[in-house]
Amino acid sequence: MGINNAELTRVNTPLTSFSGSVVEPVGEVTFPMSLGSYPRRITKMVKFLVVNTPSAYNVILGRSSLNVFQAIASTYHLKLKFPTPNGIGEEVGDRRHARECYANSLKKKANDPPNESSNRGNASINSEDVIATSDEKDPLATKKRKVEERMGPIEVVKTIELTQQPGLKTTKIETLLDPQLEKMLVAFLQENISTFAWDAADMCGIDPEYPDWLANVVLVPKANGKWRMCIDFSYLNKACPKDSYPFSRIDALIDLTSGCELMSFLDAFQGYNQIRLAKEDQEKTSFVTNQGIFCYNVMPFGLKNAGATYQRLVNHMFREQIGKTMEVYIDDMLVKSKRKEDHAQDLQECFGVLRRFGMKLNPAKCTFGVHRGKFLGFMISQRGIEVNPKKIKAILEMQPPKNIRKVQRLTGRLAALNRFISQSSDRGLPFFKVLKKIENF
């Protein structure tokens, strides 16, 4: 795999077999692992324990890794089944290969010296030297996320079916809705099923091109465990003039969203990719893959002016609704109603705009009919605006700052809460003085 021992994370817990023999792991490393085939394919981050011991198997999946994929294995049928956004995916084993692996494992056990597996010398990392493990929770949750989720419900939500086929096309609504309001909301969503998109195949694709200049592909992990393909547009961004289109003030948006009885949080399906590129600009987004050279015919992620372009689009689309029944900040869309009886009508107006412009929603990230929720990092409800408990917890659990970087992090977190802290400027003054006199810290 081309991974050096220096890139491994140290592991102090040994592995013990049923016979009592102990194997000391060389270390651990995390890789993306995919199961299934398109369109029923899913990718998760899986933690691999690297061991210096012979094995007839390339990878051994542990129980925790199967739990991450929610997979069910059948040794009798040699199948592994797991849920995906597009239905149940499966991996089918080969009986001949299974017999060969079993026979090879018996041969290795017969030929191995008694204590060879307990050696702790250096080991070159091959695909035969890893045992897969993982946290039983979402593996990406163990990583430190740089961007906090800005929008979503606070109350408990439930999944509803939008078609007669269970599990195929679903979205979420709050569980505490009045039965009559819930029935009306579900009927509305089922009638407007064409506004949602469940797969990238529903959107515009990319065409092959043969340009003179190329960019490289970069895979970026998403919070939901999937991967986003981005292009390194560093040189293209340097050549592009900056679009200074103004964004809405977050504090003003928060003030406008409080005091509503009912809200719905909407998310566009791969929002940037729903904006068509001008024909003459498509070649500038060219990138190279192992299958050839391609370019985008829609706006990709990674462009310097993508955010400003998207904000200009949604401001134009919802110009009649913004400030009244909707608030929009780039791809965060909120439908709000002062009276819950008006919410279906407000949604109808919003969905009419979406259909007119051809924008599709991501049902997995949409939540309808909630009383409280998180918008742009703040808790909003009919009572008003509340502080996000996670932001308070982040400050309380911080260690005393020992360098300038830690002081900057602390002042940034305090700035996010300044509207909830009395005399916040005076209280934070000692930290700002430290930033002015870095040499004395």
Angle at which helices 343-357 and 306-317 pack, to 10 degrees?
120
- Has residue 102 got a pLDDT over 70? no
Q: What percent of the chain has pLDDT over 70?
A: 80
What is the C-alpha separation between 12 and 301, in angstroms, rounded?
40
pLDDT-derived band of residue 441, with 50, 70 and 90 as boundaries? low
C-alpha distance from residue 304 to each of 130, 244, 299, 310, 348 (Å): 40, 11, 11, 12, 34
The mean pLDDT of the chain is 76
- Has residue 103 got a pLDDT over 80? no
320's CB contacts (< 8 A; 6+ apart) are 353
DSSP 395: H
- Has residue 348 got a pLDDT over 50? yes
Residue 135 near residue 44, CB atoms below 8 Å:
no
Of the candidates 366, 332, 333, 375, which has an alpha carbon nearest to the alpha carbon of residue 350? 333
What is the C-alpha separation between 69 and 35, in angstroms, rounded?
9
C-alpha distance from residue 48 to each of 9, 13, 64, 70, 132 (Å): 10, 14, 12, 18, 4
DSSP 242: P
Lowest-confidence range among 190-204, 270-284, 380-394? Answer: 190-204
Q: Taking the C-alpha atoms of 147, 150, 155 and 161 in order, what is their torsion angle to the nearest 10 degrees?
A: -90
Give the pLDDT confidence of 357-408 residue by residue, as tens digits.
888 888 888 889 888 888 877 788 777 777 777 878 888 888 888 888 888 8
Strand 170-174 to 367-370 pairing: parallel
pLDDT-derived band of residue 275, with 50, 70 and 90 as boundaries? confident
Residue 235 near residue 214, CB atoms below 8 Å:
no
Q: Of 1-10, 299-308, 341-350, 387-396, give the range with the top mean pLDDT.
A: 341-350
Q: How big is the chain, counted in residues?
A: 441
Quote the pLDDT of residue 187. 87
Q: Which residue do the tokens 């308070």 mark?
A: 392
Q: H/E/C letters for each residue in 113-179?
A: CCCHHHCCCCCCCCCCCEEEECCCCCHHHHCCCCCCCCEEECCCEEEEECCCCCCCCEEEEECCCCH
| Fold of the domain built from segment(s) 151-386 | Alpha-Beta Plaits (3.30.70)
Mean pLDDT score, 31-42? 83
- Has residue 212 got a pLDDT over 80? no
Quote the pLDDT of residue 165. 76
pLDDT-derived band of residue 83, with 50, 70 and 90 as boundaries? very high
Kind and range of the H or E run holding 69: helix 63-69
Give the pLDDT confidence of 108-139 residue by residue, as tens digits.
555 555 444 444 444 444 433 444 444 434 43
What is the C-alpha separation between 336 and 327, in angstroms, rounded?
8
Mean pLDDT score, 41-51? 85
Angle at which helices 389-396 and 404-416 pack, to 10 degrees?
150
Kind and range of the H or E run holding 234: helix 234-239
Quote the pLDDT of residue 440. 58
Residue 216, token pair as written in the block: 């490289």
Express the helix, strand and coil content of the chain in percent, nearest 5 each: 35, 25, 40
Quote the pLDDT of residue 201. 61
What is the C-alpha separation between 89 and 281, in angstroms, rounded?
38
Residue 195, token pair as written in the block: 């506004």
User: In the chain, what are the domain boundaries?
Assistant: 5-141, 151-386, 389-440
105's CB contacts (< 8 A; 6+ apart) are 55, 56, 57
Extract long-range pairs of 164-168: CB within 8 Å, 24+ residues apart: 167/83, 167/87, 168/87
